[in-house]
Amino acid sequence: MRSILVETANRFARDLIVQEAGWRFLQVKGIDLVAVDSPEAFLSDTPTAVLIRQILGAVSQFEKASLVAKLKGARLRKKRERGKCEGRKSYAEMQPQTVAYARKLRRDGATLQQVAAALAEQQMLNGKNRPFAPAQIARMVGGA
């Protein structure tokens, strides 16, 4: 008989329906599912074992939903406070002087290529320590 070991029942699946369907699928294939913290959780098919397994699965599903909601709330709160929460930092955040200089050059009529060359002359380089590409300059200054 083949077996799959999982740390806990909720590590197998945090959704009750997925947990039960997965367990039944493995049973049909002749594979035992063993929760290391409670070895009888999936091996017994008594009404009590089924009830306990389903209760633990429901609690796990609730905990996951609760955590997801808390994290979403925290992201929204941070976004309201700071205007940004996720994603890479922009050049405006990392190199504000570079962006200000690039915008000034564009306002003065320089092309994207000319701005890139002027930034390179000033040793204002991209993250790979290379001159900025015209497309990067366009994004940096807010369009071509």
Q: State the pTM of this model.
A: 0.53
Residue of 85, 91, 94 lying closest to 141 (CA atoms): 91
Q: What is the pLDDT of residues 98-111, one digit of tens each?
A: 999 999 999 999 99
Q: What is the pLDDT of residues 49-81, one digit of tens each?
A: 888 888 888 888 899 999 999 999 999 999 999
Which pLDDT band holds residue 1 (cuts at 50, 70, 90)?
confident
Say which residues have a Cβ less than 8 Å from residue 70's Cβ, sequence separation at least 6.
none
Q: What is the pLDDT of residues 3-18, one digit of tens each?
A: 999 888 778 887 888 8
